[in-house]
Each structure stands twice: as C-alpha cells, then as structure tokens.
Chain A
Amino acid sequence: EAQVTQNPRYLITVTGKKLTVTCSQNMNHEYMSWYRQDPGLGLRQIYYSMNVEVTDKGDVPEGYKVSRKEKRNFPLILESPSPNQTSLYFCASSLTSGSGYEQYFGPGTRLTVT
C-alpha cells in the first residue's frame, strides 16, 4: 500500500531532551516536506527536500533540523525542544517538486514538550 508513515504518533517529552520524528514513504517520491499545524495558524512548512541531500528552509525552520540521506526517509530532529514546539506535525511527499503534483500526508505526530 502506498503510504507515508511517521513515528512516533504521540510523544510527550521535556524541555531540552533531543528527539527525532521519523518519516518514510514507499512511493519513490522525490519531494518531501515537514509541516506543523497549530490552532488558528494552520499548516506551516518547516523544511522541505527536493531530492536526496537537497534540503531547504520553509517558513518556520527555527529549532528544527532535517536530513535526507535516502530517498524514502526524511527525519525531523529537535535538538533542544522547547514548549513552543508543542504541536501536531505532518510529513508529506509528492512525486516531484513540479507544479500539479499533490502531496500525500502521513498520519501526524502529536508532540507535547513540558
């Protein structure tokens, strides 16, 4: 089944404790992206990647890191999480970065930082 998977689905952690949210797609997509979704603010892009070893900042990259060593995986790293990073996170992928290609979203990761 074609899908985007994220792990973990739920995570409660403490300020400053490094964490990684994994994202994997099995559709051989080139373009992958991370978003956070907050009430009243909508979906905001954190980082995106057009292909292996190519990443770029979205609108809210501060406090996050990403890597794209393999085509299928695009982990999101929070080196020192803070309470303002409490949010719902979505990973998404699309065939290419070209216009017209819809994004497929993972199920989401609900992160709470205390």
Chain B
Amino acid sequence: GQNIDQPTEMTATEGAIVQINCTYQTSGFNGLFWYQQHAGEAPTFLSYNVLDGLEEKGRFSSFLSRSKGYSYLLLKELQMKDSASYLCAVRPFDDKIIFGKGTRLHILP
C-alpha cells in the first residue's frame, strides 16, 4: 500500500526555526513535493525533491533521503503568515499523486 506520515500539528514561535518531517512508503518514487495551504485556501507549491539532499529556497528548505523514505521541510525566521498547513506529497512510478494528511503549524508571537 501507499502511505505518507507527517505530524498532525506543531507549534513554534515567531522568529524561530521549525522542521516538519514526512515519511513515506510507496510502490515507487518519482519525486516529493511540499505544499502550503492557508485555512480556506488552495494549496500552493513550495518545493520539489527527486534526488537526495537539501534544496534551499529563501527561508524554506526541503531535504530528501530516498533510502530512508524520509523528507523534511525546514522553515527559518518564522513569521505569523507562516501559520498554515504543510502538505507532503509523493509521485510514485505512475502518474498518481499521493498526499499526506498535512501538518498544521501554529506560530506564536
């Protein structure tokens, strides 16, 4: 079966750093995506990893280890507007896309 696990909720403080983990077990692997979704809105793309290692994009970075079936999203210098859900998604060998249930991140002032 296909399974993606991520924590349900996390809380962090404005200005701090937070790491959101994602582990996956899928029939194949053809890339991993992270999306951000504010309450009541559509998801928006944050990052994509297909090879092992760290991809950095401004305050956000994403890491992948294919051998461990593991990824994380790192958010630095947290701002109140980062309060949102973060969705991990995997594309197996076919063209389906499987999403995790999302991690709701709360930022405290």
- Chain A interface (Cβ < 8 Å from any Cβ of B): 31, 33, 35, 40-45, 48, 50, 56, 58-59, 90, 97, 99-100, 102-108
Contacts and interface: CB of A to CB of B under 8 A. Distances in A.
A50 B96 CA distance: 10
Chain B interface bracket (under 10, 10 to 19, 20 to 34, 35 or more)? 20 to 34
B42 A43 contact: no
B87 A100 contact: no
Nearest to B30: A99
B60 interface: no
Contacts of B99: 35, 42-45
A109 B44 CA distance: 16
A99 B96 contact: no
A12 to B, nearest CB: 18
B96 A58 contact: yes
A107 B101 CA distance: 19
Contacts, number: 56
Contacts of B48: 99-100, 102
Given A33-B97, A102-B48, A103-B97, A42 B102 contact: yes
Contacts of A97: 95
B91 interface: yes
B95 A56 contact: yes
B95 A31 contact: yes
Nearest to B2: A59
Nearest first, the 8 closest Cβ-Cβ pairs linking A and B are: A42-B101, A102-B45, A105-B42, A99-B31, A43-B99, A97-B95, A99-B30, A42-B99
